[in-house]
Structure 1
């Protein structure tokens, strides 16, 4: 199996990064245990610091990464760009932006998708499902 393929027999591993535990909880609650019936169930890994994100991705521990652009001290937008530069076979990245007008920053970060705060569960779910379907094809 290529690194870019999603094994539908295994749970999808989603890494959720934010220094704010309420943001991590909001993401996980919005997506739930299975964002779509055609996709496998999800295993979430919550991460509060950028170095741990890099460590986990170096180990190949995620199929999808959700990064909070409003996190401090390392924001998710800069972290997304770093991951795309430094991680071989980096999984798809979704960034949470401060507002809809920050979509250009998401483009700069090389993230495959962006969803603005405040989080809309339908918009977040749609973006995640789209990324996971793209990864599995």
Structure 2
């Protein structure tokens, strides 16, 4: 039995967090483990959970308020030792340059498109789990 992968989902919007869960299902691809979600609605909750360790991938909502996912991404890349890879949810494709600025490893646009999202999440999980083993 494969271990589970832990995915932290940050958004102040419960509907966005639900879109991520539904797009992922039990696992985003057959060659990655099942996913366990940690949902956070505030920046302090994200930082506390990341400090505790054990997060494989972060999914951050770039449209979250008051702390947007792009700024949160940049902050965790600066402050968290060996920060997990980040999949950023952007409001518009034109925000791709901000995703690069934030140092996110991947980005997709909102609303979450299930196939595109699952492919991006699976790729990050594969890279993270390869480093972990």
Aligned to 2:6: 13
Does residue 79 (structure 1) correspond to residue 72 (structure 2)? The answer is yes
Could you report, residue by residue, the CA deviation over 1:67-101 in whole angstroms, capped at 9, with x for unpaired residues?
A: 00000000000000000000001000111011111
**Helix, strand or coil for the counterpart of 1:56?**
helix
Runs of at least 4 residues off by over 3 Å: none
Q: Distance between the aligned counterparts of 1:93 and 1:120, measured in 2?
A: 17
Aligned to 1:52: 45
Q: Distance between the aligned counterparts of 1:30 and 1:23, measured in 2?
A: 11
Q: Distance between the aligned counterparts of 2:67 and 2:7, measured in 1?
A: 19
**Helix, strand or coil for the counterpart of 1:34?**
coil
Any residues of structure 2 matched to 1:95-134 within 5 Å, and which?
Answer: 95-134=88-127
Query: Is the contact made by 2:29 and 2:119 (CA closer than 8 Å) also made in structure 1?
Result: no
Q: What's the CA shift for 1:133?
A: 1.1
Which of 60, 69, 83 aligns to 2:62? It is 69
Q: Distance between the aligned counterparts of 1:27 and 1:85, measured in 2?
A: 25
Structure 2: gaps (5+ residues): none
Q: What's the CA shift for 1:37?
A: 1.3
Query: Is the contact made by 2:57 and 2:85 (CA closer than 8 Å) also made in structure 1?
Result: yes
**Helix, strand or coil for the counterpart of 1:88?**
coil
Q: What's the CA shift for 1:9?
A: 3.4
Question: Could you say what the CA RMSD is over the residues aligned between the two structures, in angstroms?
Answer: 1.1
Could you report, residue by residue, the CA deviation over 1:89-134 in whole angstroms, capped at 9, with x for unpaired residues?
A: 1000111011111000000000100001121111111100111111
